[in-house]
A = this chain, B = another copy of it.
Amino acid sequence: MTASDTRERLLDAAERQFSERGYDGASLREITQAAEANLAAVSYHFGSKEDLFVAVVARRVQPINLERLRLLDQAEARAGERPLEVEAIVEAMIAPVLRSGADGPCVLRMVGRANSESAAPTRRVVEGPMREIRARVRRALRRALPHLNERELSYRMHFTMGVVKSVASDQHLLHAISDGQCDPQDLDGTIAQLVPFLAAGMRAPSVERKRRASARSRRS
């Protein structure tokens, strides 16, 4: 049992507990017990419960964001000088997060739940790296969807990230809603359904332009 072995086991156990019971609901006693470690090990390795939480999230955030950038690079290579495909941009935003839940509890469940429970610690880890992704996604979407203004772009990006979060958090609901026809564990299946849904939403006419268009059609 190496030095960092306990550390890893603590991270794994904490991730599970935090995602299942929320930050406040999870107790260090349960976490250390599940990790077959001592209660004091948390203090030794991480300092505090909050620092443990931050470490748990941080471990997942970087790989996810690297994968997002990789997918965007790949899509850009495919597109050459043309705007990226909306589907490719959407997939780059959502697939890495959803897939990160395949080998365990999804980060988004933890982050989402802790988001306003104790907002400060989470945002520290998540929002910094996310800013870069968001900027790049926004640039790509702006080119791909020139009919949208900045405000609408913001709304639609927000909606998109929102679906992902709730899909990751409430997998059991999907199973219930569909009478078992949809398998929440089948991430690729979910992604295959989600990408066209969101891409179509993204491509929806601008609300302002739509108003003007319908005013025009009434006149004619």
Is A204 an interface position by the 8 A CB rule?
yes
Is A96 an interface position by the 8 A CB rule?
no
- On whether A116 and B20 interact (CB within 8 A), knowing A162-B163, A200-B200, A204-B197, the answer reads yes
User: Which of A48-56, A66-74, A172-180 is the interface stretch?
Assistant: A172-180
Is A36 an interface position by the 8 A CB rule?
no
CB of B158 within 8 A of CB of A177, answer yes
**Whole-angstrom CA separation of A127 from B172 in the bound complex:** 12
**B-chain residues with CB within 8 Å of residue A155 when the two chains form the complex:** 174, 178, 182, 190, 193-194, 197
- On whether A117 and B25 interact (CB within 8 A), knowing A151-B182, A165-B166, A204-B197, the answer reads yes
Interface centre among A166, A167, A178 (most CB of B within 10 A): A166
CB of A151 within 8 A of CB of B178, answer yes
CB within 8 Å of B: which of A179-211?
A: 179, 181-182, 190, 192-194, 196-205, 207, 210
Number of copies: 2
**Whole-angstrom CA separation of A193 from B22 in the bound complex:** 31
Count of chain A residues near B, Cβ 8 A = 57
CB of A167 within 8 A of CB of B173, answer no
Is A33 an interface position by the 8 A CB rule?
no
**B-chain residues with CB within 8 Å of residue A205 when the two chains form the complex:** 196
User: Which of A2-10, A37-45, A77-85, A107-115 is the interface stretch?
Assistant: A107-115
CB within 8 Å of B: which of A145-169?
A: 150-152, 154-159, 161-163, 165-167, 169
**B-chain residues with CB within 8 Å of residue A201 when the two chains form the complex:** 197-198, 200-201
Checking B118, B154, B198, B207 against A182 with a beta-carbon cut-off of 8 angstroms, the contacting residue is B154
**B-chain residues with CB within 8 Å of residue A174 when the two chains form the complex:** 154-155, 158
Give me the interface of A with B, judged by CB distance under 8 Å. Answer: 20-25, 109, 112-113, 115-118, 127, 134, 150-152, 154-159, 161-163, 165-167, 169-170, 172-174, 176-179, 181-182, 190, 192-194, 196-205, 207, 210
